[in-house]
């Protein structure tokens, strides 16, 4: 496999960053995941961390070096991540369970599969146009479907933060699966939290990606989103992957998985407690961070049995 990939998460104007994101690839498969935590100081980011870490570790266990059933993988492990978040809340004795949105994609055999819950999105962009995107599990999306709100106004709607499905809630999550999509060379899959799409129109998104490759276009889009959102800027997180196909030599900025061993993985997921440059954990102490790391590990192990 050959592809370009870029990821970045920014704190925006918030006190801390509750978004989490990461990717992992084997010789024959790639997984990308983005999560937007909800639930206040510490707990929202823990929920997002559990989702990202759970799917990444599951991918490393099951991709050998590809997945036998990508849709089953996504459905099964998003559901298990949901239960792991619930277990974390139970151990902590929390009155309100932390929650997170989640969008994840698998690419193998020049084909993409994806799943989502909540309002973190995936855009499939081909030749400067949005070929398809996920549909938010939100109050505003319901209003759009009813013809009461225009799509372009969703990011500024006063009820835009009302989500009716997520991981970690009391109700079981509604996990939507895509159709299987054959990728063409130059296709881009963009996974992001609402901090980006609320401020950037679909037209602006496509224009920037048509003008430049993802290594240049994504930082520019994040800059634009921060400026447009101003003092109310939410956390912003993006993973973008442009497919280069199979066979030809990879360019300097492209990943080629051909040299990976059958059981090897390349993973890019930030460890909890080690935020990116320019971000922080507010007033969390080292002791609180260490305790959270242990509880995240215990919650995941309870679901995996490992």
pLDDT along the chain (306 residues), means of 10: 96 92 97 90 86 97 95 97 94 88 97 97 96 88 72 63 88 94 96 94 93 96 95 94 79 84 92 64 74 90 84
Tokens of 111: 């084909």
User: Is 3.40.250.10 the CATH classification of the domain at 2-304?
Assistant: no
Tokens of 33: 């995941």
What local confidence, expressed as pLDDT, does residue 158 receive?
Answer: 61
What local confidence, expressed as pLDDT, does residue 157 receive?
Answer: 63
Helix (H, G, I), strand (E, B) or coil at 291: helix
Whether the ω angle into residue 65 lies within 30 degrees of 0, i.e. cis, is yes
Alpha helices in 242-283 (DSSP H): none
């Amino acid at each position: 496999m050959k592809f370009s990939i870029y990821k970045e998460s920014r704190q925006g104007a918030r006190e801390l960053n509750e978004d989490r994101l990461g990717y992992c690839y084997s010789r024959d498969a790639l997984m990308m995941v983005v999560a937007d935590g909800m639930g206040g100081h510490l707990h929202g980011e823990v929920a997002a961390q559990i989702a990202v870490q759970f799917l990444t570790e599951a991918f490393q266990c099951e991709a050998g070096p590809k997945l036998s059933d990508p849709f089953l993988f996504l459905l099964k492990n998003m559901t298990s991540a949901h239960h792991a978040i619930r277990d974390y809340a139970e151990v902590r004795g929390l009155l309100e369970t932390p929650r997170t949105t989640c969008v994840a994609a698998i690419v193998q055999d020049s084909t993409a599969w994806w799943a989502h819950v909540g309002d973190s999105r995936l855009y499939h962009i081909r030749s400067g146009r949005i070929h398809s995107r996920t549909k938010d599990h939100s109050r505003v999306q319901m209003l759009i479907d009813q013809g009461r709100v225009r799509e372009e106004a969703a990011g500024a709607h006063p009820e835009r933060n009302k989500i009716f499905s997520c991981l970690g809630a009391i109700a079981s999550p509604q996990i939507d699966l895509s159709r299987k999509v054959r990728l063409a060379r130059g296709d881009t899959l963009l996974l992001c939290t609402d901090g980006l799409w609320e401020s950037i129109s679909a037209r602006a998104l496509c224009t920037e990606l048509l003008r430049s490759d993802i290594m240049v276009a994504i930082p520019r889009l994040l800059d634009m989103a921060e400026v447009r959102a101003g003092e109310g800027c939410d956390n912003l997180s993006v993973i973008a992957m442009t497919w280069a196909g199979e066979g030809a030599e990879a360019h300097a900025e492209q990943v080629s998985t051909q040299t990976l061993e059958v059981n090897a993985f390349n993973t890019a997921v930030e460890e909890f407690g080690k935020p990116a440059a320019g971000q922080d954990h507010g007033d969390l102490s080292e002791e609180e961070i260490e305790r959270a790391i242990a509880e995240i590990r215990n919650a995941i192990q309870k679901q995996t049995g490992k």
